[in-house]
Amino acid sequence: MLNGKCALVTGGSRGIGRAICLALAKQGASVALVYAGNEAAAAETAALVQALGVPVKAYRCDVADFAATEALVKAVTEDFGGIDLLINNAGATRDKLIMRMTEADFDDIIAVDLKGAFNLIRHTSAAFVKKRGGRIVNITSDAGLMGNPGQANYASAKAGLIGLTKTVAKELGGRGVTCNAVAPGFIRTDMTAAMNAQVLESAEQFIPLKRLGTPEDVAALVAFLCGDSAGYITGQVLQVDGGLRM
């Protein structure tokens, strides 16, 4: 159980982020929900968390902004008395073949998906080290392990997130802080809902479990990694993809 812990979850308003907020709340964690722009979705998620009987507050923040994330961490620390669990889930896509990808297409996705995680880790790590404990979970992707046509920006960011995860695990492990990455495959979210139905049906045929994953499948692993039972697991990349990339 996570009673008395505070979880900061970026990209927490919808999809996998919402499921993570709820999974952690069900185990007793307070939730600092960070969103980029969809205030209505953030409010809906906050209401669902509040219904579970734990403190929750939504914060709007551009995770790519170093100064803004520093202010965010200070605000959450003041509101909740500290941060114990950091879930870097915020992400964006801007898919194009590399011959058509602009510099902004590449830079903007790197800024959110990779630099955003660095920013939050940078601003929380000192407190984690001081209290000799903390859990960091970074949401990467199968694309970061395998690459994916049309996603040079996204795959690069997610691959970089894996390197960041392993480095942080080595730097902070001696102070009782774990850092792991979760790599979802095809998960039923707004992102996959926008994909071609035939592409999704074809993908299911290559997944040994013969179905797409759910946000709850990912959230269950994140909640486990945040708990005491995962205290000796760090620097790992754990795939939630139904066996697709085994």
Whole-number mean pLDDT of the chain? 95
* Residue 238: Cβ within 10 Å count: 17
123 versus 205: which is more confidently predicted? Answer: 123
Q: How far apart are the C-alpha atoms of 24 and 82, rounded to whole Å? A: 16
Q: Per-residue pLDDT tens for 133-169?
A: 999 999 999 999 999 899 999 999 999 999 999 999 9
Catalytic residues: 154
- pTM strictly above 0.75: yes
| 100 DSSP 8-state letter | T
For residue 125, give the H/E element and its range: helix 116-130
Q: How far is CA 27 from CA 15, 30, 42, 221, in A?
A: 19, 9, 20, 13
Torsion, Cα 33 192 208 211, to 10 degrees, reads 90
